[in-house]
Amino acid sequence: MQSKEFYIGVRGVQVEVTEQVYLVYHRSKRRDRYYECDIKIERAVRDEFGDIIGYIHSKEYSLEKLISIGTDFVNEQDSPEDIAINALMLSALDSALGKLPHDDFTLINTLFLSNDGKGMSEREYAKIYNVPRRTVAYQKNKILGKLRKIIEKN
């Protein structure tokens, strides 16, 4: 059975994304439409007999007014485009990590991903494996250069 593919437009290009990214993107679009259209309520204007003769658009504050009264705009989530780009970058990084020699992968994994994702400092790594810290830094930079080349090549 063929799995369903999901695409979103990012800077004019259709990019294949995971279902999760696709859903976040479309929920964001719907939220924008809600704020732009759905909550704008018009008020009916009635004549002396009670008949509707027109509508008055509701008053909304401008961005400048909201800022001047101290409204805080918190960006609670990344944009869907950023989520899609990050997903693509993580996929490329994962693929590149798989192409590294075992010793290189182990060093990068230990420095960046060990300790519940917090990683380990070069100093800690050097102490545990009895290697000079400058050697660890040199190896790390050399491996990161390899990763960069692998990602750029793909």
What is the 3-class SS of 52-102, one letter each residue?
Answer: EEEEECCCCCCHHHHHHCCCCCCCCCCCHHHHHHHHHHHHHHHHHHHCCCH
How far is the CA of 16 from the CAs of 11, 26, 138, in angstroms?
13, 14, 37
Kindly report the average pLDDT of the chain as a whole number.
79
99-153 is a CATH 1.10.150 domain: no
Beta carbons within 8 Å of 85's beta carbon, 6+ residues apart: 10
Residue percentage of the chain with pLDDT more than 70 = 74
In tens, the pLDDT along 95-110 reads 888 999 999 999 998 9
Q: Report how far residue 51's alpha carbon sits from residue 49's, in angstroms, rounded to the nearest whole number.
A: 6
pTM surpassing 0.85?
Answer: no
For the cut 60, the answer to whether the pLDDT of residue 38 exceeds it is no
What average pLDDT does range 33-40 have in this prediction? 56
Q: How confident is the model at residue 145 (pLDDT cuts 50, 70, 90)?
A: very high
